[in-house]
Amino acid sequence: MNVSSVKGSMSISSSTSTWKAGDTISDQFPAGLRVLVVDDDPTCLMILEKMLIACLYKVTKCNRAETALSKLRENKNGYDIVLSDVHMPDMDGFKLLEHIGLEMDLPVIMMSADDGKQVVMKGVTHGACDYLIKPVRIEALKNIWQHVVRKRKNEWKEFEQSGSVEEGDRQPKQSDDADYSSSANEGNWKGSKRRKDEEEETDERDDTSTLKKPRVVWSVELHQQFVAAVNQLGIDKAVPKKILELMNVPGLTRENVASHLQKYRLYLRRLSGVSQHQSNLSTIISAQDPTFGSLSSLSGLDLQTLAATGQLPAQSLARLQAAGLGRATAKSAIPITLVDQRNIFSFENPKLRFGEGQQQHMTNKQQVNLLHGIPTTMEPKQLVSLRHAAQSVGNMNMQVPPHGPQSSQNNPLLMQMGQQQQQQQSRGQILVDSTINHAPRLSSMGQPILSNGMATNVSSRSGIPENIRAPGYSQTPSMLNFPMNHASELPGNCFPLGSTPGVSNLTSKGAFQEDVNSEIKGSGGFMPSYDVFNDLNQYKPQSWELQNVGIAFDSSQHSNSLQGNLDLTQSALGQQGFSSGQMNGHNRSAAVASKAMFSTGNVKELRSAQNVNQHLNNLLVDNTIRVKSERVCDASPANIFPDHFGQDDLMSALLKQQESVASSENEFDFDGYSMNNIPV
């Protein structure tokens, strides 16, 4: 095998400094692929080495993680891929995985005799690009080169994206998202390898070929500089441009920094997100929206519109609304939405999850992230906007109370419906809806709300999380959800409590009504919602339980994402569990939702929400209680009801979704709910 020639074509160190996925790949490829294999078991190590050699790869073996790391550090570009065992005495395989992702950004494949779902999921969340079960067969090793190709291809795409979009941080995110979803590299720092001394650099962005961009190697020092700059600016205010200036590294571009920042955010989120995840879950649970399933397709569209507006929060709001309308009672409603969403998105439909996310990608990178928990970090700008949105949402949340009751009712429905695929979809929706709910309430958007359209409404609003946008949006969902409201009432339904100026916009309501089945009876009117609100608590347990189920699955998977979400949403979405797409999967949306729910700028709440969520995952039963308490403390009924119509919107959105999801859920409607206690 002609290793040198292969190397030349494959390694970035080639004179062209960039390795294009479609570029001149030696005919011998993947022969010569430089593999570093790490395993403390000498028998396995010997066998693996032999197998890899038989595949014509160039193999370096180590039996200790520390040795492997130092080898990698010594020779940054000396390896194409790493194979590592999970259980090692000196260092946990996942830790090694993170180090490699952070410092070298190489594809890493994990191996273990353990094939438990938890462990495999852990691999995914830590950014492994594949997971092999021992005993490893040679056939499994023959194809590992695909991960190398894929990674490089994605990096190019990312470069291209970031290069083309200066202002809109969407694109970089988009590529990141795609990257994440495709290769589960969330944990990896996407530094593109780039020779500092190279001439091409990113200045060649104008190249037609997307693959020509040199990769930036985020060395330890460079990363330290980056972290120092970020800390100096403050993680919330860290904008790629400013970071770039502070770092003052010649040849480094804003895009490089932007993508690295994204990864860093994800990483941070993942580190701190376990508790948040739980809380998110709880919120999401409440917001389950079974209708998501049907909405998912629309959500993609919505996302586009939202994307247009470039306002993620709005979308998430919308989604959340759509999703969790029925669920959240006031504040809790929102969290529930988030939680539900999470359930919905939980493992049931990984495909959906990504699918939706991907839809979003296409349309609105940012949005996608939020909704589907795509790990992309939101750009600082976005964050800021989100934050604003969140704040506004927070205000709106207050308004939501009316929805609360509704949502509570819906929650049980949603929750049940939300399971499985629907869950996934609805989750996204919920996220969007909830966020939108908050926003819309305030303003009478009067925009036609399509059933899935809740997202669209929001989108049209262009995601102004700041409530003002979505009023129409929220309304519609509610309308849809509450058959009781009937078309004519729908507008008013959204904000039965009145005063929502935005309510009037629900012209489209009529249209939606059709969509809305009677199932959501309670949801239909805000009136009912008030009733529901009272009874929300009753349902909560139910929803929580269901949510727990969903969450349980999700949390395990997406704990990282939740964390990530928290960061973002706290500031922005707050309420709507608008997982700023950071969430890996379902969890993300859940996380976002929960965040949205809780945060009216209250990070703590989100955290608790997340905690709750996480907890839910672990303890289905216990979680319900926990979530409830989480929710309750977050939203005091008193606050919730009065003037905040956001909840209504949420609820309506939720309800709507619920409707679509399962008519059977209706039984959870607001039957027997008295509307007395709802302070309007």
Partner 1 sequence: MDRNRLHNQVASMRRSLFDQGYLDDQFIQLEELQDDTNPNFVQEVVTLFYNDSTRLIQNIEQALNSRPIEFCKLDDYMHQFKGSSSSIGAKKVTNECTAFREYCNAENAEGCIRSFQQVKQEHAILKRKLEVYLQTVRQASQTA
Q: In the complex with partner 1, which residue's Cβ is closer, 43 or 676? A: 43
Q: In the complex with partner 1, which residue's Cβ is closer, 68 or 480? A: 68
CB 418 within 8 A of CB 542: no
CB 563 within 8 A of CB 536: no
Q: What is the DSSP letter of 193?
A: B
CB of 48 to partner 1, least distance (A): 9
Residues that bind partner 1 (rule: CB under 8 A) add up to a total of 20
CB 584 within 8 A of CB 562: no
Q: Which of 23, 114, 204, 207 forms a contact with partner 1 (CB under 8 A)?
A: 114
Q: What is the DSSP letter of 34?
A: E
Residue 301: count of CB within 10 angstroms of its CB: 18
Q: In the complex with partner 1, which residue's Cβ is closer, 113 or 220? A: 113
Q: In the complex with partner 1, which residue's Cβ is closer, 54 or 621? A: 54
Place of tokens 């190249």: 207
113 scored as a contact of partner 1 (CB under 8 A): yes
Fill in the per-residue mask, 260 to 279: x = in contact with partner 1 (CB under 8 A), - = not in contact: --------------------
Q: Which of 18, 60, 77, 112 forms a contact with partner 1 (CB under 8 A)?
A: 112
Q: Which of 20, 64, 76, 87 forms a contact with partner 1 (CB under 8 A)?
A: 87
Q: In the complex with partner 1, which residue's Cβ is closer, 40 or 671? A: 40
The distance from CA 317 to its chain's CA centroid, rounded to whole angstroms, is: 14
Q: How far apart are alpha carbons 375 and 587 in whole angstroms?
A: 10
Fill in the per-residue mask, 127 to 166: x = in contact with partner 1 (CB under 8 A), - = not in contact: -------xxxxx----------------------------
Q: How far apart are alpha carbons 126 and 393 in whole angstroms?
A: 32
CB 542 within 8 A of CB 411: yes
Q: How far apart are alpha carbons 164 and 172 in whole angstroms?
A: 9
50 scored as a contact of partner 1 (CB under 8 A): yes
237 scored as a contact of partner 1 (CB under 8 A): no
Q: In the complex with partner 1, which residue's Cβ is closer, 88 or 257? A: 88
Closest alpha carbon to 429 in 457, 459, 454: 454
Q: In the complex with partner 1, which residue's Cβ is closer, 3 or 249? A: 3
Q: How far apart are alpha carbons 45 and 590 in whole angstroms?
A: 41
Stretch that binds partner 1, among 108-116, 179-187, 355-363, 582-590 (CB under 8 A): 108-116
Backbone angles phi, psi at 84, to 5 degrees: -135, 145
CB 594 within 8 A of CB 616: no
Q: How far apart are alpha carbons 587 and 562 in whole angstroms?
A: 6
Q: How far apart are alpha carbons 156 and 177 in whole angstroms?
A: 13
Fill in the per-residue mask, 8 to 47: x = in contact with partner 1 (CB under 8 A), - = not in contact: --------------------------------xxxxx-xx
Q: How far apart are alpha carbons 61 and 127 in whole angstroms?
A: 22
CB 80 within 8 A of CB 108: no
Q: In the complex with partner 1, which residue's Cβ is closer, 1 or 228? A: 1
Q: In the complex with partner 1, which residue's Cβ is closer, 134 or 173? A: 134
92 scored as a contact of partner 1 (CB under 8 A): no
Fill in the per-residue mask, 54 to 73: x = in contact with partner 1 (CB under 8 A), - = not in contact: x-------------------
247 scored as a contact of partner 1 (CB under 8 A): no
96 scored as a contact of partner 1 (CB under 8 A): no
Per the document, the length of the chain is 680
Q: Which of 35, 51, 318, 562 forms a contact with partner 1 (CB under 8 A)?
A: 51
Q: Which residues bind partner 1 (CB under 8 A)?
A: 40-44, 46-47, 50-51, 54, 85, 87, 112-114, 134-138
